Amino acid sequence: MKRLITYLLMLSFMVFACGVSDILGQDQEDEDTPYWYVAEYQIPPQKMDSLRTLAKKSDPVYEMAIDEGYILDYKELFHHTGGEYNFVRMIKYPSWSVIEEGPELGEVAEDAMPDKSKRQEIMKGFEWVFKGVQHKDNIYTVVE
């Protein structure tokens, strides 16, 4: 018990003396640090095929966002029948400021898909697939 109290006191001292970011190795934001925005969804199995089709139709939006430098990469992972979160969308942004201030993918979609009715049809499909679906979001950096 004494060892635990001593450990906690030392940890508290280090936090106040050095700052939490120094202890955890988290420096202030580096503009050259890419971030992966990861969204995980629990999609009903009967909607997975529709989601795959919609994801393929939205590829031009992500490709244009990459061409314009808004995002660096994206991945979509599907697990048809198992797992609590069976669809994962990962978007790699070049910096935190792009996440906060950059254009929304909806804005990019207007340029990538000029046909408004086609865009609306795809968006309605996504709304149907994601309606009432549980999800969680996380943002990661790659440590090298």
Residues with Cβ within 8 Å of residue 32, at least 6 apart in sequence: 95
pTM of the model: 0.75
Mean pLDDT of 15-37: 60
pLDDT of 104 reads 85
**Mean of pLDDT values over 109-117:** 92
CA distance 33 to 14: 27
For the cut 90, the answer to whether the pLDDT of residue 105 exceeds it is: no
The maximal CA–CA distance of the chain, rounded, in angstroms, is 69
* C-alpha to C-alpha distance for 142 and 134, rounded to whole angstroms: 26
* Average pLDDT, rounded, for the chain: 82
- pLDDT at residue 58 tops 90: yes
pLDDT given for residue 82 in this prediction: 65
pLDDT at 30: 62
Domains, the chain, in order of start with CATH, read 30-140 (3.30.70.100)
Count of alpha carbons within 13 angstroms of residue 89, beta-carbon side = 18
